[in-house]
Amino acid sequence: MNPLVGSQIINNRYNYLFTQNTCLIIRDKIPAYILNIKWCKLLRQHPYLCKMTVKNDVSLKPYNTFGIDVKARYLIEINTVDELNEAVDFKNRNNLPFLILGGGSNVLFTKTFEGVVFLNRIEGLRVVEEDDEQVLLKVAGGMAWPRFVDYCVEKNLGGIENLSLIPGTVGAAPIQNIGAYGTEVKETVVEVEAVDLATGKIKTFSNEACRFGYRSSVFKTRSNRNYFITAVTFELKKNPVVNLSYAPLKHIFQNRDINTVSIAEVGNAVKQIRRSKLPDPDQIGNSGSFFKNPVVGINELEPLKKRYPEIPYFQVDRNSYKLAAGWMIEQCGRKGKRLGDAGVHDKQALVLVNHGNATGSDILDLAMMIKKSVNEKFGIELEFEVNIY
Ligand code: FAD
Ligand code: NAP
């Protein structure tokens, strides 16, 4: 039972009225009779009310691709930056912890969230600058990433076609510097606009200030967790050169002159490979790769190569090499195995899945077991890519 039901909180700018399932936030001064009405439907029709609704005691199952059924104390869908300010006001007023959520495709919930979830649904896209070579697009953080990629591919704007079909939102893309098939989003990001939820101030991060790395950025550091990414500006090419560096793409286009391959063809090929290999979250819950591929120095790689001559590795820079975590998990005999309803995907061992009724703790227990086996066999400490709450 929501302890605030029936109560009213008033501050300088807003009134908050709580019912069992919602909290209505009312702008400015309102006629007294409104305060006595408890039916949400009637209240919602009143012109003084803003649209923002605070839901309480909400299941997060529809909001995470693992399909984990935990509750959040409050959830607010944010459709505009103004609504974000109102939501922050609500959080501050009630002294609540917050969690920003886009598509929920890179999170694992293990317990009730005793705070307020801000669901980013800010939409919009506009051309900022354009010449014969390129176009700068400013895109709102709540737009679905796959929809944005399809928009660019349709307009023959190149740079992100290899990132087709990655679930989630535009606003979350810079956070772990999403990557696939030899492309990372950092290659096209010009700047990131974010609201500091501690101060309410807007800050713009240049590409350099984002400090992008392999599946990381400045936004993953503890001191920058207060930033809500509201928009990202991208630079897309009007005369794109396709990137077929990854083996499955090379294979598909092996009989073609690379100069004749369009970004639409690459986008479609990426979608085809992904659909054949990765579990669809609508069919089986998952958050993509659960672990990051570890990056090691030559001193760690050499003994591994001696013990496992077939070990796959990829040079990252002069001194570091990326190992394939999925291969290591497979060598530990974990591919396709399950622990109750928590499982390891049978086509890609890097992906953990929810076969139906797994809890977040079931998935986490499985992840810890995998970490332990990889450490015992290879001496490598795997890191989680998925954010655990
Ligand atoms: P969420 O899961 O909602 O959030 C992820 C984290 O970012 C959370 O900590 C959240 O608090 C924070 N966050 C979200 N939005 C904001 C915001 N606006 N401001 C501040 N913080 C925010 N990833 C890849 O890199 N490459 C892939 O190829 C890939 N393939 C995937 C395939 C599948 C089937 C699935 C399920 C996932 C895959 N992922 C991949 C992971 C995931 O899609 C990406 O990390 C994506 O960017 C997450 O976006 P989201 O909106 O769902 O973020
Ligand atoms: P894959 O082709 O089986 O390759 C296995 C691993 O080897 C990948 O993780 C990839 O690293 C690495 N790799 C392969 N070819 C490479 C090359 N030419 N240069 C450098 N590294 C290479 O992988 P997959 O599982 O089918 O995934 C295909 C792509 O989609 C990968 O880029 C992967 O990252 C991406 N993906 C990511 C997620 C996620 O949630 N993060 C989920 C599904 C797919 P990288 O991962 O660094 O590319």
- Domains, in order of start, for the chain: 8-120 (3.30.43.10), 125-277 (3.30.465.10), 285-388 (3.90.78.10)
Q: Are strands 320-323 and 313-315 parallel, antiparallel or unpaired?
A: antiparallel
Cβ of residue 354 lying under 6 Å from some atom of ligand 1 = no
DSSP code for 292: P
Identify which of 184, 185, 289, 385 to mutate to test ligand 2's pocket (most ligand atoms within 8 A of the CB). 289
Identify which of 314, 328, 383 to mutate to test ligand 2's pocket (most ligand atoms within 8 A of the CB). 314
Q: How far apart are CA 120 and CA 141, in angstroms?
A: 7
Q: Which 3 state secondary structure label does DSSP give 138? A: strand
pLDDT beneath 70: ranges in the chain? 1-51
Residue 33 has what pLDDT?
A: 42
Cβ of residue 167 lying under 6 Å from some atom of ligand 1 = yes
Cβ of residue 65 lying under 6 Å from some atom of ligand 2 = no
**Residue 35 CA, ligand 1 centroid: distance in Å:** 40
Q: How far apart are CA 314 and CA 322, in angstroms?
A: 5
Q: Are strands 98-101 and 113-120 parallel, antiparallel or unpaired?
A: parallel
* Ramachandran area for residue 342 (φ above 0: left; ψ -120 to 50: alpha; else beta): beta
Identify which of 80, 105, 121 to mutate to test ligand 1's pocket (most ligand atoms within 8 A of the CB). 105
Residue 7 has what pLDDT?
A: 53
**Residue 18 CA, ligand 2 centroid: distance in Å:** 47
Cβ of residue 314 lying under 6 Å from some atom of ligand 2 = yes
Q: Which residue has the tokens 């737009």?
A: 143
Q: How far apart are CA 177 and CA 147, in angstroms?
A: 18
Contact criterion met (CB below 8 Å) for 178 and 289: no
The set of catalytic residues is 215, 289, 385
Residue 86 has what pLDDT?
A: 86
Residue 264 has what pLDDT?
A: 97
**Residue 23 CA, ligand 1 centroid: distance in Å:** 28
Contact criterion met (CB below 8 Å) for 309 and 331: no
HSE toward the beta carbon, residue 136, CA cutoff 13 A: 10
Residue 19 has what pLDDT?
A: 63
Cβ of residue 245 lying under 6 Å from some atom of ligand 2 = yes
Residue 39 has what pLDDT?
A: 46
**Residue 26 CA, ligand 1 centroid: distance in Å:** 33
**Residue 181 CA, ligand 2 centroid: distance in Å:** 6
Residue 6 has what pLDDT?
A: 54
Residue 157 has what pLDDT?
A: 97
Residue 36 has what pLDDT?
A: 43
Identify any residues that bridge with 291 across adjacent strands, giving them in sequence order: 384
Cβ of residue 179 lying under 6 Å from some atom of ligand 2 = yes
**Residue 232 CA, ligand 1 centroid: distance in Å:** 15
Q: How far apart are CA 363 and CA 64, in angstroms?
A: 14
Using the atom order of ligand 2, give the atom closest to the CA of residue 351: 42
Which residue's CA is minimally distant from atom 8 of ligand 2?
324
Q: Which 3 state secondary structure label does DSSP give 272? A: helix
Cβ of residue 180 lying under 6 Å from some atom of ligand 2 = yes
Identify any residues that bridge with 53 across adjacent strands, giving them in sequence order: 24
Which residue's CA is minimally distant from atom 36 of ligand 2?
180
Phi, psi of 19, deg, nearest 5: -120, -175
